[in-house]
Amino acid sequence: MTLKSGDRIIINGRPVVVDDAVIKKFVDGDALFGLSDGQILHVDKGELALVDNSVSAARTAFRELGNCTADQISLFYSKFAEKLLDSKIRQSLLNANAMDVQSAKERNRQTTRLLLTEKVLDAMVDALQMWQMTPQTTGMVLELVEHDGWRVQSEVAPLGVVAFVFEGRPNVFADATGVLRSGNTCVFRIGSDALGTARSMMELAVRPALEEASLPLDSVILLDAASHSSAWALCANRKIALAVARGSGTAVSQLGEIAQQSGTAVSLHGTGGAWMLLGKHPDADRLSQVIERSLDRKVCNTLNVIGIPQSLATEVIPVIAKAISSAGERRGQVSIVHACPQSLPLLKMCDGSLELAPLQDGELSVEWEWDDIPECSVFVFDDLKHAVEMFNEYAPNFIVSLVSDNKEEFEFVWRNIEAPFVGNGFTRWVDGQFALNKPELGLSNWQNGRVLGRGSILSGDSVYSVRYRADQQDINLSR
């Protein structure tokens, strides 16, 4: 196949002209993916082959894993945790990560999620020990239906190869290897910023643990490629049973489109940012505490928007301003607040160090991405019904906290708001390991529709299919 200037491809039913820059790079055997915004993405045949070889190896390992025992899988998690507790291995991992962090800083990249610390490693050990103690789900009977002369039972069954595309977060190994607990194998593509750390993790911890547990070594594969196009190729590979994409909203949306075009089931975990709404009678101390603890670091469940009743604006804005200011001071920074016209004058009158900016039209839907300087939006609403309508219109339909002692207000929000995660305190509780004692593969919102029969916390033991087993005792059974 060849391309020439002026050639078009069909994207969502409309022809789009192929860019000359793409035509110059394209050779027979390459792949093109068209996106709804008109972009055409190019993947060369070398990367397609690299991805296909990795997925094929993981697919072979999947079949072999079916003959391994639950105890072997438990032993893998135990050995993986042991490696991370070993002082020499731990120091080697920290050294590799320090090089990644330094490289990222030199390229003006954010490093909040990239940084591997003793605390992060300890949390990974906790996650692996959780998986070690989690019962194997494969073969678990979901339902048994008895008939005259025969019966049918449904059982949990593994899916196959799960593909992961993660941002540069080295702790994801402990989360995503959870799919082995449900009998699946996995192929990783991690953000290029963390690739050095990931290579060390595979060499020093993951592969030795697989070997010591006598599990197939290709049960966990790191796609050793730094380019974005390798992620595109991974999500497009039709041997994948499920693709999990986790990272920035734009990148995750791209990967979702590519997977859907290829007929691959996909679970997207991209856009984040939590909202906090105030009821009629919020407790000032509670409000201050939950705001500050929701701004301790920037991840998907960090507080992003605060909504205030018009009737309480004068009373509560000083409390809110002080809490946001304190969150910045704890980091040695001046927090940034994007304020609506009604709240901006009141915030200017408050004590405390804040950098204030007018909240522009459309910015309620913006997730503020920050590294060291806490940043959020503040707006004023008429009543709780108005606040819920604002959330449903502008939020990523992800996390909401209602700070109120009124149970009726909370029930109103629960019934009417489009969010899978609803609480009454700090927003950072939304985490599989913290809330459910199950390390998460990702947190999804309802922005792009709800997934039938699945929660918004995707965990290793929730990645499964269902098989049906029939047992016929009556040989004369017929229809």
Question: What residue ranges in 203-344 does DSSP mark as E strands?
Answer: 220-222, 242-246, 266-269, 274-278, 303-309, 335-339
Higher pLDDT, 362 or 416: 416
Q: What is the DSSP string of 400-439?
A: EEEE-S-HHHHHHHHHH---SEEESS-GGG--HHHHHSS-
Of the CA atoms within 13 Å of residue 329, those in its CB half-sphere come to: 10
What CATH number does the domain containing 403 carry? 3.40.309.10
Residue 24's domain comprises 8-43
Question: What residue ranges in 127-232 does DSSP mark as E strands?
Answer: 141-147, 150-157, 161-166, 185-190, 220-222
pLDDT number for residue 13: 67
pLDDT confidence tier of residue 296, bands split at 50, 70 and 90: very high
Q: Name the nearest CA neighbour of 116 among 81, 83, 163, 84.
A: 84
Count: domains in the chain: 3
Residue 132 lies in a domain: yes
Query: Is the CB of residue 378 less than 8 Å from the CB of residue 338?
Result: yes
Pair (333, 404) in one structural domain? yes
Pair (67, 121) in one structural domain? yes
Task: Quote the tokens at residue 367.
Answer: 């997730």
Of the CA atoms within 13 Å of residue 358, those in its CB half-sphere come to: 3
Pair (120, 239) in one structural domain? yes
Query: Is the CB of residue 278 less than 8 Å from the CB of residue 405?
Result: no
Task: Point out the least confidently predicted range of 6-10, 134-138, 142-146, 311-315.
Answer: 6-10
pLDDT confidence tier of residue 437, bands split at 50, 70 and 90: confident
Residue 62 lies in a domain: yes
pLDDT number for residue 195: 93
Cα distance between residue 339 and residue 359, in whole Å: 5
Task: Point out the least confidently predicted range of 72-81, 157-166, 243-252, 421-430.
Answer: 243-252
Residue 454 lies in a domain: no
Pair (216, 282) in one structural domain? no
Cα distance between residue 242 and residue 40, in whole Å: 23
Cα distance between residue 422 and residue 435, in whole Å: 13
Model confidence over 16-66: pLDDT tens digits? Answer: 777 777 777 788 888 888 887 778 888 889 999 999 999 999 999 999 999
Residue 111 lies in a domain: yes
The pTM (predicted TM-score) of the whole model is 0.86
Pair (18, 92) in one structural domain? no
Pair (109, 82) in one structural domain? yes
pLDDT number for residue 1: 61
Pair (207, 67) in one structural domain? yes
pLDDT number for residue 469: 95
Residue 127 lies in a domain: yes
pLDDT confidence tier of residue 314, bands split at 50, 70 and 90: very high
Query: Is the CB of residue 370 less than 8 Å from the CB of residue 331?
Result: no
Q: Which residue among 246, 270, 294 closes a domain?
A: 270
Q: Which residue among 245, 270, 295 closes a domain?
A: 270
* Confidence check: pLDDT of 264 > 90: no
Q: Name the nearest CA neighbour of 134 among 93, 88, 76.
A: 76
Pair (39, 150) in one structural domain? no
Pair (84, 156) in one structural domain? yes
Residue 377 lies in a domain: yes
Pair (65, 14) in one structural domain? no
Q: Which residue among 241, 270, 299 closes a domain?
A: 270
Mean pLDDT (whole number) for 252-272: 86
Query: Is the CB of residue 443 less than 8 Å from the CB of residue 133?
Result: no
Cα distance between residue 363 and residue 83, in whole Å: 45
Residue 457 lies in a domain: no
Residue 474 lies in a domain: no
pLDDT number for residue 12: 64
Pair (329, 300) in one structural domain? yes
Pair (187, 309) in one structural domain? no
Determine how β-strand 457-459 pairs with β-strand 440-443: antiparallel
What CATH number does the domain containing 231 carry? 3.40.605.10
Task: Quote the tokens at residue 60.
Answer: 């072979």
